[in-house]
Chains A and B, each alone.
Chain A
Amino acid sequence: AQSVTQPDIHITVSEGASLELRCNYSYGATPYLFWYVQSPGQGLQLLLKYFSGDTLVQGIKGFEAEFKRSQSSFNLRKPSVHWSDAAEYFCAVGEPGGGNKLTFGTGTQLKVEL
């Protein structure tokens, strides 16, 4: 069965600093990969996704993620964090041909210091 690990439960960065949120997955082949963001009491908003092709994916709000097959990772990055980026971030994987289920990581809570 596939699994997703987000090793950092909480991360605090200063506004304007760079950000990297880690995501590792366990799956026999290349899965479909997603990053979602959730503000308090809100639904999940898709930041970006990777299905195939270029391993560096650009998303909304200035975020990007890089798929590294050798490390089974799909880390999310942003060069300069804004206070409004404070939220919960979830990495998720889907299994190509495996139905409609997504497996979510446990999430990383991002706090931004002004």
Chain B
Amino acid sequence: DTEVTQTPKHLVMGMTNKKSLKCEQHMGHRAMYWYKQKAKKPPELMFVYSYEKLSINESVPSRFSPECPNSSLLNLHLHALQPEDSALYLCASSQARSSETQYFGPGTRLLVL
């Protein structure tokens, strides 16, 4: 099973709202990732968790707050977002070794009004 699931599929939120994106994998992977993807662009790495610890934060604004409650789950908490944060948010997972194959979820399409 190489499936990464993400909920919700779509999300519309106002700039004062608080919402969360969820990601789950059951492949036994110990590295999990959040990416942001704008239209017609490659994914941009936001955060990496390795063994449930934050290992990479690509200078992401604090209005995005990641959380890794356990080895299978990854959350992205959103607060006070801006319209330019509208994008496809992708979760991925991999073995924790260096540059292992990353398996992506279907993404959450976020629209900030």
Residues of A near any B CB (own CB < 8 A): 31-32, 34, 36, 41-46, 49, 88, 90, 94-102, 104-107, 109
**Is the beta-carbon distance between B88 and A97 smaller than 8 angstroms?**
no
Instruction: Give which listed residue, A31, A34, A44, A95, contacts B90 with CB less than 8 A.
Output: A44
Most B C-beta atoms less than 10 A away, residue of A36, A42, A97, A102: A102
Query: Can you identify 12 A-B contacts, CB atoms within 8 angstroms?
Result: A41-B88, A41-B109, A94-B98, A95-B98, A96-B99, A98-B99, A100-B31, A100-B56, A101-B45, A102-B45, A102-B102, A107-B40
Given known A-B contacts A43-B90, A49-B101, A94-B99, A101 and B56 have beta carbons under 8 A apart: yes
A109, B42: Cα distance in complex, Å: 11
Given known A-B contacts A100-B99, A101-B56, A106 and B41 have beta carbons under 8 A apart: yes
Q: Which residue of A lies closest to B99 (CB)?
A: A94
**Is the beta-carbon distance between B104 and A43 smaller than 8 angstroms?**
yes
A42, B43: Cα distance in complex, Å: 12
Q: Which residue of B lies closest to A31 (CB)?
A: B99
**Is the beta-carbon distance between B43 and A104 smaller than 8 angstroms?**
yes
**Is the beta-carbon distance between B98 and A100 smaller than 8 angstroms?**
yes
- Beyond A46-B102, A104-B43: 9 further Cβ-contacts under 8 Å? A41-B88, A43-B6, A43-B104, A49-B101, A88-B40, A100-B31, A100-B96, A102-B45, A106-B41
**Is the beta-carbon distance between B104 and A100 smaller than 8 angstroms?**
no
- B residues near A94, Cβ cutoff 8 Å: 98-100
**Is the beta-carbon distance between B42 and A95 smaller than 8 angstroms?**
no
> A-facing mask of B61-88, CB < 8 A → 1, else 0?
0000000000000000000000000001
**Is the beta-carbon distance between A97 and B105 smaller than 8 angstroms?**
no
Most B C-beta atoms less than 10 A away, residue of A98, A99, A107: A99
**Is the beta-carbon distance between B98 and A104 smaller than 8 angstroms?**
no
- B residues near A100, Cβ cutoff 8 Å: 31, 33, 48, 50, 55-56, 94, 96, 98-100
Closest-CB distance, B70 to chain A (whole angstroms):
19
A45, B90: Cα distance in complex, Å: 12
